[in-house]
Structure 1
Amino acid sequence: MKVLMVGWELPPLNSGGLGEACYGLAKALSKKGVSIDFVLPYNFNIDVDFMKVHYANDRTRPDKIMGPYLTYTKWMKAVKEGRASVFDYLSQVLEYAENIRNIATKVQADLVHMHDWLTFPAGLTAQEIIGKPLVAHVHATEFDRTAGMGINEAIYEIEKEGFKKSDRIIPVGGIVRKTITERYGINSNKIKVVYNGVENPDKPSIDPSLTNLKKLGYKIVLFLGRITLQKGPDYFVRAAKIVSQYCPKAVFVVTGSGDMQAQMICEATDLGVIDKFIFTGFLRGVEKNSIYQAADVYVMPSVSEPFGITALEAIKNRTPVVISKQSGVSEVLQSALKVDYWDVEELANKILAVLKYKSLPKDLKSGGVKELMNLTWDKSADDVLGVYQQLI
C-alpha cells in the first residue's frame, strides 16, 4: 500500500505535538508495510530511513514559517509589532497547495492522508491530481487552538471544505469528533477516532535533571507544553499559589514557550510565588525526558486539548499525571487524576495529594505503565490501517 502523506512539520524542527504525532504514526505504519511519501512545505533537511520525504518548495525553511498552532489574533499582534506581514498569514498555506502539484504528478499512491488545516489545500490539490481517496487527520480544530475565543473564519472555511471533501476523517479524540459534527456539520458516519500513542512504554535510560533541588527535599511540579490560552497556564499559576501555601518546598517548573509566558510571569509575581517558578524554555529529546523524570507530578490543565500526548510522555518517564477532563487523553487514560481545568482549588488538591501521599504516585505510575501497553503508535497504526483498507 502506498500513501502520499501531507504534513507541515517533523522532528526535530517541530514546534509541538503535531510533528511528533506525524512522525510516530508514519514510522509505525511503515513497519506494517505501508510505503509513505511524506511531503513538507519547505526543505527541512529531515533525515529519516523509513519513508521518503519530499519538499514542495526545495528552498530552505524560512525563519518565519507559520506555526501549526498560530492563531489569527497572535499573527495580527506580530504584524502590528512588525514581526510579520499581514499577507503571509495564509500565503504559505496557499503556496504549499500550488507547489505540491509537481510532486503529486510524479508519485504513485493509493490514497492521500493530510494532517490539520495547514495541509488541507495542498492535500485537496494532491487528491484532485491523483484521483484517489482522501483522509483528513485532525489533531486540532480552530475552536481548539483559540479555546473558542474568536475563531478565524478563513481557517474555519478551509477546515470545513477539507472535512466535506475527505472520504474519511480521523480525529485524535472524542472531543474533536464532537466539534467536527456539531460545529462543521459533518456526518459522523465518515469519522473514526484514532488516539495518539507513544513509540514504546519503556522508560528512557537517562539522568534526571534538577537533582540538587531534589536532594534538598524540594518537590517538582511540572507544566510542559505551549504557553498559550489553550493549555491553561493561568490556571496552573493560580493552583501553584494554593499548593505553595500547603507545601512550601514545591517548585513549579514551566517547560515550553508561547505568547502567554509574560502574562504567566506577571500573574505569578502578583500572587507572590514567582520565586517558586523556573522557566526552562522549549526542550526536546533527552532534555525533555530528563525534566519529566525530575518531576514529582506532571500537570496538564488544558482548556481544550484534542489529545494531550505529553501526558503519555510523562507516564513513559514514570511521572504521575494530573490532567484536564477537557482532553482527549482523559477518554482513554484511567491511571491519572482528572479535574475540570477551571476548578483551581480541586487542581491544587490533586497536586497536593500526589506530593503528600506516597502510595498514590506509586499506584498512578504502575497503573499508567500498564495502560501504555495499549496506547502505542503501533496500535494507532492498526486503526489507521483499518481506515485505509475500507477506502481502497
Structure 2
Amino acid sequence: MKVLMFGWEFPPHILGGLGTASYGLTKGLSLQPDMDITFCIPKPWGDEDQSFMRIIGMNSVPIVWRDVDWNYVNSRVGSYMDPQLYYDLRDHIYADFSYMYVNDLGCMEFSGRYPDNLHEEINNYSIVAGVVARQQQFDIIHAHDWLTYPAGIHAKQVSGKPLVIHVHATDFDRSRGNVNPTVYSIEKNGMDHADCIMCVSELTRQTVINHYHQDPAKCFAMHNAVYPLAQELQEIVDQRKPYSERKEKVVTFLGRITMQKGPEYFIEAAKRVLDRTHNVRFCFAGSGDMMNSMIEMAAAYGIADRCHFPGFMKGKQVFECFRDSDVYVMPSVSEPFGISPLEAMQSGVPSIISKQSGCAEILSKCIKVDYWDIDAMADAMYALCMYPSLHEYLQVEGKKEVDGITWEKVGQRIRKLYDETIQKYK
C-alpha cells in the first residue's frame, strides 16, 4: 500500500508533540512489509531518518519551470532528496504559478517552523501539494493536524484518492474555548472533506463530533504510543540514583508553558507541597507565552528558590530531565493525548496526569486528578515524594504498562482503517 502523508515537523527537528507522533506513527506503519510511505514536510534538514520511508521537502518541489543543471540541483537538495525527483516533479507543474514568489529552482521557501506568517505558509504548502499529488503514485492520503488539511484536500481533488486526516489537537484544546475562527474554519473544512477522521483520543473524537458536527461513523479514536528507548537513551535513564539516595526529590512539568498545559495549577500545587516540606524542588522544563508570568507567580508565592526553569528541551535532554526527576506531572486543562507521561513512565518516573487528557483513557498505573483540584494534585506529589512503597509500585508497574503500548499496534489499527476507507471509497 502506498501512502502520501503530509506533516509539518519531523525528528530530530521538533517543536512539539506533533513531530514525535509523526515519527512513531510512520515507523509503526512501516513494520508492515507492503507499506510504502512518502512523507511531505515544509523544510527537511537532511538528518531525518529515511530508513523506513522517504521524505519530500516541499521547499524543493518546483511550481515554476526552471532550466537548471543537475549538479546544481544536487548541491541544493541532494542531502535529503533524490535530485531526479526534482525533475520528475517539474514535469507535473499543472498551472501557471509565475506570479508567486519563488527561488532560482522555481520553488517556494518555507521556514520549517511556526512563523508569524503561518497562514501564508499553510496556503503555499497546499499549492505545492497539488504538484506532488499529480506526480506521486499512492492509494490514500494522510494529513496530520490542521496545518496540512488544505494540502490534503488539494491532493484529494487532484488525484481522486481518499483522504484521511489525523486530529492531534483542535483549537478548542489550544484556546480553552476562545476559538480562532480562521483556524476553526480550516479544521472544519478538512474534516468535511475527509473520508476518515483519526483522533488521538475519544476525548478528541467527541470534540470533533460535537463542535465540528462530523458524522460519528467516520470518526475513530486512534491513541498514540511510544517507541522503545534507543540504547543511548536507556543508558541515560539507567544512571538514575536510587530513590532512597535522593535527598531532595524533584517534581517535573515538561511541555509548553502555555494556557492549555495548566502551568498555574502546577505552581499552586507546588506551593501547597512546600507548605508541608521543604525537601522538594520543582522543574518547569519548557518554554511558552506564560513562562515569565509563572516565574513571577513563583516569586510572589515565595517559592522561587525551589522552582527551576531550564527552558525548552528535546532529544537526549528530555531523558536527562526524566533521569533526574522523581515525579512527572501533566496538569493539562485540555490535552488531546499527551505522549510525555508515557515517556516519563517508560523512563521509570511515576506520573500524575489530569483526567482531562486523552492518555488517561489508556493509562491505569498512574495517578489521575482533575486539573483544577489543586489539593488532590498536591497530595499526590507529596505522597510520591515521601512514600517509597507507592513510588516503587508506580515506577515498576507504570513502566510495564507503557512497554505494552507500541506504535506497531497503532500501525496495525491504522492499516485496518486504510483498507476500510479505500473499500468504501471505491
Same fold flag (TM > 0.5): yes
Q: Shift of the alpha carbon at 1:247?
A: 2.1
Identical-residue share of aligned pairs (%): 40
Q: Which amino acid aligns with 1:19?
A: G
Q: Which amino acid aligns with 1:50?
A: F
Aligned pairs for 1:35-74 (under 5 A) are 35-48=36-49, 49-58=51-60, 65-66=113-114
Q: Does 2:227 match 1:199?
A: yes
- Conserved 8 A contact 1:308-1:327: yes
Mind listing any 5+ residue stretches in structure 2 that lack a counterpart? 61-106
Q: Which amino acid aligns with 1:143?
A: F
Quote the residue 1:96 is aligned against. Answer: 125
Q: Which amino acid aligns with 1:156?
A: Y
Match of 2:203 among 142, 151, 175: 175
Structure 1 360/244 Cα, relative in aligned 2: closer, same or farther at 3 Å? same
- Conserved 8 A contact 2:199-2:221: yes
Which secondary structure does the structure 1 equivalent of 2:154 belong to? helix
- Conserved 8 A contact 1:239-1:347: yes
- Further displaced range: 358-367 or 231-240: 358-367
Q: Write the distance in 2 (CA, Å) between the matches of 1:93 and 1:172.
A: 22
- Conserved 8 A contact 1:201-1:369: no
RMSD, matched Cα: 2.1
Quote the residue 1:81 is aligned against. Answer: none
- Conserved 8 A contact 2:237-2:319: no
Quote the residue 1:391 is aligned against. Answer: 421
Q: Shift of the alpha carbon at 1:45?
A: 2.8
Match of 2:183 among 141, 149, 155: 155
- Conserved 8 A contact 1:197-1:309: yes
Match of 1:132 among 143, 152, 161: 161
Aligned pairs for 1:1-392 (under 5 A) are 1-33=1-33, 34-48=35-49, 49-58=51-60, 65-66=113-114, 84=116, 88-148=117-177, 150-200=178-228, 204-206=234-236, 217-392=247-422
- Conserved 8 A contact 2:326-2:385: yes
Q: Which amino acid aligns with 1:66?
A: Y
Q: Which amino acid aligns with 2:408?
A: D
Q: Which amino acid aligns with 1:369?
A: K
Mind listing any 5+ residue stretches in structure 1 that lack a counterpart? 68-83
Which secondary structure does the structure 2 equivalent of 1:136 belong to? strand
Structure 1 244/208 Cα, relative in aligned 2: closer, same or farther at 3 Å? farther
Q: Shift of the alpha carbon at 1:366?
A: 1.9
Structure 1 186/10 Cα, relative in aligned 2: closer, same or farther at 3 Å? same
Q: Segments of 4+ in structure 1 off by > 4 A?
A: 59-64, 207-211, 213-216
Quote the residue 1:80 is aligned against. Answer: none
Which secondary structure does the structure 2 equivalent of 1:39 belong to? strand
Structure 1 64/128 Cα, relative in aligned 2: closer, same or farther at 3 Å? closer
Q: Write the distance in 1 (CA, Å) between the matches of 2:170 and 2:237.
A: 37
Q: Which amino acid aligns with 1:316?
A: Q
Which secondary structure does the structure 2 equivalent of 1:205 belong to? helix
- Further displaced range: 347-356 or 281-290: 281-290
Structure 1 260/175 Cα, relative in aligned 2: closer, same or farther at 3 Å? same
* Offset from partner CA, 1:195-232 (integer Å, 9 cap, x none): 10011278812167897x99661100000001110001
Structure 1 46/157 Cα, relative in aligned 2: closer, same or farther at 3 Å? farther
Q: Write the distance in 2 (CA, Å) between the matches of 1:95 and 1:61.
A: 9
Q: Shift of the alpha carbon at 1:11?
A: 1.1
- Conserved 8 A contact 1:38-1:53: yes
Which secondary structure does the structure 1 equivalent of 2:281 belong to? strand
Which secondary structure does the structure 2 equivalent of 1:24 belong to? helix
Q: Write the distance in 2 (CA, Å) between the matches of 1:201 and 1:334.
A: 21
Q: Write the distance in 2 (CA, Å) between the matches of 1:214 and 1:243.
A: 19
Q: Write the distance in 2 (CA, Å) between the matches of 1:258 and 1:220.
A: 21
Q: Shift of the alpha carbon at 1:89?
A: 3.8
Query: Structure 2 length as normaliser, TM-score?
Result: 0.83
Structure 1 316/60 Cα, relative in aligned 2: closer, same or farther at 3 Å? farther
* Offset from partner CA, 1:86-140 (integer Å, 9 cap, x none): xx24111101001122211111110000001000001111111121111010100
- Conserved 8 A contact 1:112-1:126: yes
Q: Shift of the alpha carbon at 1:177?
A: 0.5
